[in-house]
C-alpha cells in the first residue's frame, strides 16, 4: 500500500539552514513501515505504532555508502550502527542492500501516549545533509495491577533507608545518561537464563503492602536460588554492588546508550570494569533486596528509556 502520510523528506543545504519540503511517500508493508527519503535512502521502523515500554528497531538503507547517520528521538541523539550481519543475509537472498544502518528507539514505560517524531539525518555530499522524519504513535500500555507483600522496610523505608534508595536511583540515572559512543556488542541478544524459565510482569502497577508503588520496569524470571545468570550480550560491567531495592545488582553497558540490569543475585561473579561476552555468568539468582522470593529481575534501558528487555531479544534476536 502506498499512501501519503506524515513523512517529510527534505534536502538541507546545511550552510544556509534552509529546509525545503519536497514530497513524501509512505509505504506500509504488513506491520512495518518504510519511508522513501530520496537520494536512494529508505528508513523503516519495525512497527508503525508502539506501546509504552516498547522498543522499536529503525533500519536505514542507502544505495550509496554513507559516512555517518544520526537520529533524534525524545530530544536526544540516537546513535546508529552499521549492520554487516544484515548486509550478509540480504546478499544471500540476492537483495542488493547497499549500506545498512540500524538504531534502537526506546519508548519509556512512562512516556505519555501520543504522536512523536523520529528524525534521521546523514551527510550525502559536501554541504548537503539528507533529513527524513517519521511519525510514531505511542499507545497507552495496558498493565495489570498486583498486590504484593514485602518486608516493611521496603514498603515503608525510614528516612535513612529512603535517602540511601534515592541516592542510588540518582546514580543509576547518571549511569544511563552516559552514552558510550562505541558499539560494544556484535550479533544477537540472548535471554539471561538457560532452560525453560519464563520472564513476565513488565510494566505491572504494584501495590506494596497496600500502598501504590512505581510501575515495574523490568522482567521477572522466577528461578531457584543459585541458577546462573548470563550477560545478554557483550559489554562492560559498570555497576556490581548491593543496592537497597535491587539487592546484589549488575549493570552491563553495551554501548550506544544500551544497558542491561540484573538484580537480586545471591552471589555476584562480576565486578566493575569486567569486559563480558554474551553468556558470561554475572551472578546467581537469589532473593536479595525487595523481593517476594528468588527470581532474576532483568531490566533494559535504551537512551534513558526503560523498556521491556524481552523486546531486544525479539528485535536483535536469538536465545
Ligand atoms: Zn522485578
Cell of 302: 535504551
Question: How many A from CA of 297 to the centre of ligand 1?
Answer: 4
Cα 209 to Cα 214: distance, rounded to the nearest angstrom: 13
Strand partners, 237: 252
Question: How many A from CA of 216 to the centre of ligand 1?
Answer: 6
Q: How confident is the model at residue 195, as a pLDDT?
A: 92
Cα 56 to Cα 49: distance, rounded to the nearest angstrom: 9
Cell of 212: 501504590
Question: How many A from CA of 103 to the centre of ligand 1?
Answer: 27
Burial 174-194 (b: 16+ CB within 10 A, else e): eebeebbeebbbeeebbbbbe
DSSP assignment letter at 7: -
The whole-model pTM stands at 0.86
Question: How many A from CA of 202 to the centre of ligand 1?
Answer: 8
| 3-state SS assignment for residue 162 | helix
Q: How confident is the model at residue 85, as a pLDDT?
A: 56
Q: Are 310 and 248 in contact (CB under 8 A)?
A: no
Q: 544502518: which residue's cell?
A: 101
Q: Are 311 and 55 in contact (CB under 8 A)?
A: yes
Q: Which domains does the chain have, with CATH numbers?
A: 4-139 (2.60.40.10), 174-200+217-315 (2.70.70.10)
Distance of alpha carbon 307 from the chain centroid: 6
Question: How many A from CA of 34 to the centre of ligand 1?
Answer: 35
Q: What is the pLDDT of residues 54-85, one digit of tens each?
A: 999 999 999 888 989 999 998 899 999 988 65
Q: How confident is the model at residue 207, as a pLDDT?
A: 86
Would you say residue 300 has pLDDT above 60? Answer: yes
DSSP string across 170-198: HHHHHHHH---SS----S----SS-SS--
| 3-state SS assignment for residue 163 | helix
Q: Pairing relation of β-strands 49-51 and 128-139?
A: parallel
Would you say residue 208 has pLDDT above 80? Answer: yes
Confidence of residue 278 (pLDDT cuts 50, 70, 90): very high
Ion ligand 1, residues whose Cβ is below 5 A away: 218, 220, 297
Question: How many A from CA of 220 to the centre of ligand 1?
Answer: 5
Q: What is the pLDDT of residues 1-53, one digit of tens each?
A: 333 333 333 333 333 333 332 333 333 333 347 788 988 999 999 987 899 99
Cell of 162: 529512603
Q: What is the pLDDT of residues 78-129, one digit of tens each?
A: 999 988 655 545 555 444 456 899 999 999 999 999 999 999 999 988 888 9
Question: How many A from CA of 48 to the centre of ligand 1?
Answer: 29
Confidence of residue 213 (pLDDT cuts 50, 70, 90): confident
Instruction: Decide which of 11 and 259 is more confident.
Output: 259
Question: How many A from CA of 221 to the centre of ligand 1?
Answer: 8
Cα 110 to Cα 112: distance, rounded to the nearest angstrom: 6
31 CB contacts (<8 Å, ≥6 apart)? 47, 48
Question: How many A from CA of 246 to the centre of ligand 1?
Answer: 8
Amino acid at each position: 500500500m502506498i499512501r501519503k502520510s506524515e513523512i517529510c523528506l527534505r534536502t538541507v543545504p546545511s550552510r544556509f539552514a534552509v529546509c525545503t519540503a519536497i514530497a513524501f511517500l509512505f509505504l506500509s508493508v504488513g506491520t512495518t513501515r518504510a519511508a522513501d527519503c530520496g537520494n536512494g535512502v529508505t528508513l523503516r521502523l519495525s512497527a508503525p505504532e508502539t506501546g509504552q515500554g516498547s522498543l522499536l528497531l529503525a533500519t536505514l538503507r542507502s544505495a550509496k555508502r554513507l559516512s555517518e547517520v544520526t537520529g533524534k528521538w525524545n530530544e536526544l541523539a540516537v546513535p546508529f550502527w552499521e549492520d554487516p550481519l544484515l548486509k550478509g543475509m540480504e546478499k544471500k537472498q540476492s537483495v542488493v542492500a547497499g549500506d545498512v544502518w540500524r538504531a534502537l528507539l526506546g519508548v519509556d514505560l512512562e512516556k505519555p501516549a501520543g504522536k512523536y517524531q523520529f528524525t534521521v539525518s546523514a551527510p550525502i555530499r559536501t554541504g548537503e545533509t539528507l533529513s527524513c522524519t517519521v511519525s510514531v504513535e505511542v499507545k497507552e500500555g495496558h498493565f495489570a495491577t498486583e498486590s504484593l507483600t514485602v518486608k516493611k522496610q521496603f514498603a515503608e523505608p525510614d528516612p535513612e533507608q529512603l535517602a540511601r534508595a534515592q541516592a542510588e536511583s540518582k546514580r543509576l540515572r547518571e549511569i544511563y545518561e552516559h552514552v558510550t559512543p562505541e558499539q560494544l556488542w556484535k550479533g544477537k541478544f540472548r535471554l539471561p537464563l538457560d532452560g525453560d524459565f519464563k520472564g513476565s510482569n513488565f510494566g505491572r502497577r504494584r501495590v506494596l503492602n497496600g500502598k501504590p508503588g512505581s510501575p515495574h520496569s523490568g522482567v521477572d524470571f522466577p528461578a531457584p536460588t543459585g541458577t546462573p545468570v548470563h550477560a545478554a550480550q557483550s559489554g562492560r560491567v559498570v555497576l556490581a554492588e548491593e543496592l537497597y531495592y535491587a539487592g546484589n545488582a549488575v549493570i552491563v553497558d553495551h554501548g550506544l546508550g544500551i544497558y542491561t540490569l540484573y538484580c537480586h543475585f545471591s552471589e555476584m561473579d562480576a565486578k566493575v570494569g569486567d569486559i563480558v561476552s554474551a553468556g558470561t555468568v554475572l551472578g546467581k539468582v537469589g532473593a536479595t533486596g525487595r523481593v517476594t522470593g528468588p527470581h532474576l529481575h532483568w531490566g533494559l534501558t535504551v537512551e534513558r528509556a526503560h523498556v521491556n528487555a524481552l523486546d531486544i531479544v525479539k528485535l536483535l534476536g536469538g536465545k
